[in-house]
Amino acid sequence: MSQTDESAVDQDLGAKEDAERQGIRDWVARNVGGVVVEIETLARWRPIWRVDYEKEGVVRSLFVKGDRPGVQPYSLGHEMKVMEVLEAHEIGVPHIHGWMDFPKAFVMDWVEGDRDPGMLHTAIESASQMSPERWQAMLKYMEELARMHRIPVSAFSETECGAPRTVEEIALSQFERQYALALELDAVDANIEFFASWLRRNVPRHRTTAHFLTGDCGQFMSVGEEITGIIDLEMAGAGDICWDLACFRGRHPYENMGDIPALYRHYAKVSGIPLDLPVIGYHTVNFLAFAASCAIMFMDPKQADSNWIEGILELTSISRRALEAIAELEKVELDYSFELPEPADAPIEDMALEKLLLEIGRLPLSEAFPEWKRDLLAAIPRYLQNHAHYGRWYEQACLSDIQELTGVLPESMTAGERLLKTYIRESADGNDASLIKLFHRKMLRLSMVVAGSNPTDENPLFFRLEPILDMPTE
């Protein structure tokens, strides 16, 4: 088959989806002994399916989790092996049924219950809430987290978790894996380069013990007050437990995690490990820098299942919140006072993009192209309309900031990125305060362009990171 023919096949999403669904039916028949009665493609940033099948007159459900290549430094098989180790240690993860070659995926029990979807575009549409029942389940999750942290790292030797030993490895094993992947994919922007510089220069040198880490902590299903399944362990690794604790702070409040200080105090009580707030602050930067790098990769237009609009939402919000975490540790005051200018006149762009939005809204829906995919596609021209109105303001302000820092006015944003990366790499101390302020202004401005509005307390895109250093620990 020629490259042209292969490209045509790749673009035929309906045929691809049909082939994947047939692969799922065949796998279930061979490995579970059931007949598939329904397959539903779920809204996430990777291919996943709910599969209902009938066996001996009873309908049960499976969860098929597909691959997301080129976004994070762990393989899909790593997550499956991690879950098998956790299940062997009586942690409440869904039971794994096995590996599937086509579509590339692994299969586990479907877990009933609710959870926040953990995506910014859904939080913007419907604010995340914490019910009293979910809060009680959160407290139970902290007890499960303490149990997971007690499992020896050696138990995960057949996974990709690794066994960090030096203080640098314990602090940075997760981030350095991601940074290496980002370098390989040309996805290290100046902001990520600054995070890397700051993290390496500020390693907590008194943290000398590595533990198993869930990697993207706080994700579980619950019914009422009970946990029904701990999920999404694709970033599981080994390092400082403060990474996992930082995840709660990093995700909150656009994914409402409840009373963060109370969660931390409960973890300290059940684990017997005292809280180290500055180190949790450091790992807040660490976790969010990792996530910001993932967001850049989400935006890769060559990835058929990537979620571009979620990528830019997360890039702007997560990067800004990481900078707020550094600013708290470094005692740097940030500027939130600027506003959007009057929108620039862009009649041709508005006309073309309105036409594009109209045609996207008329695209027929199918199993391969459900409504949520159409809505995400439509969000891109809406963003481009905002960029047509405010993009020049954003670029001019950013280039002016770069000139003030470096003494050189870049001719373009691309040239400005190159100049900033060189500046960061050649600055012995990083000139942290100036760079924190510069990047924070840049990401706040870009957030405003994405939203097409000034910051508001109601829009999750603009939620600020809650301070931690003055948090009561008892």
Q: What is the pLDDT of residues 13-69, one digit of tens each?
A: 678 888 999 999 999 999 999 999 999 988 766 789 999 999 999 999 999 999 876
Strands 211-213 and 220-223: unpaired
Mean pLDDT over 395-416 rounds to 97
What separation, in Å, do the N-terminal and C-terminal C-alpha atoms of the chain show? 66
Q: What is the 3-state secondary structure (H, E, C) of 313-375?
A: HHHHHHHHHHHHHHHHHHCCCCCCCCCCCCCCCCHHHHHHHHHHHHHHHCCCCCCCCCHHHHH
- Tokens representing 250 are 């990093």
Percent of the chain, pLDDT > 70? 93
- The reported pLDDT for the residue numbered 123 is 60
Report the pLDDT averaged over residues 310-335: 96
Q: Does the pLDDT at position 2 exceed 70?
A: no
SS3 108: strand
Kindly report the average pLDDT of the chain as a whole number: 92
Degrees, nearest 5: CA angle 374-380-385: 130
Q: 429 is written with which tokens?
A: 């101390």
Residues 436-442: what's their mean pLDDT? Answer: 98
Q: Is the pLDDT of residue 188 over 60?
A: yes
Any idea which residue has 């039916």 for tokens? Answer: 25
Question: Where does the pLDDT of residue 328 fall: very low under 50, low under 70, confident under 90, or very high at 90 and above?
Answer: very high
**pLDDT(325) > 70:** yes
Q: What is the DSSP letter of 90?
A: T
3-class DSSP assignment, residue 51: strand
Is the confidence at residue 1, as pLDDT, over 50? no
Confidence of residue 5 (pLDDT cuts 50, 70, 90): very low
Interval 274-301: pLDDT, tens: 999 999 999 999 999 999 999 998 888 8
Split at pLDDT 50, 70, 90, the class of 3 is very low
The rounded distance, in Å, linking the Cα atoms of 110 and 229 is: 9
Cα of 368 vs its chain's centroid, Å = 24
Mean local confidence (pLDDT), 88-105: 97
Q: In angstroms, how far apart are the furthest CA atoms of the chain?
A: 74
Would the pLDDT of 222 be above 90? yes
What torsion, rounded to 10 degrees, do the Cα atoms 231, 236, 239, 240 define? -20
Range among 38-47, 344-353, 360-369 with highest mean pLDDT value = 344-353
126, pLDDT greater than 90:
no
* Global confidence as pTM: 0.92
Per-residue model confidence (pLDDT) at position 303: 73
For the chain, list the domains and their CATH numbers: 18-109 (3.30.200.20), 135-342+370-462 (3.90.1200.10)
pLDDT of residue 133 exceeding 90, the answer is yes
At 210 the three-state DSSP class reads: coil
The predicted structure's pLDDT at residue 300: 83
- DSSP code of 156? G
CA distance 221 to 144: 13
Residue 8: pLDDT band (50, 70, 90) is very low
State percent of the chain over pLDDT 90.
79
**pLDDT band at residue 255 under the 50/70/90 scheme:** confident
Q: Per-residue pLDDT tens for 68-96?
A: 767 789 999 999 999 999 999 999 999 99
What pLDDT was estimated at residue 473? 73
Higher per-residue pLDDT: 120 or 464: 464
Report how far Cα 223 is from the mean position of its chain's Cα atoms.
Answer: 24
With a CB cutoff of 8 Å and minimum separation 6, the contacts of 273 are 241, 267
Query: Nearest CA to 395 among 424, 415, 425?
Result: 415
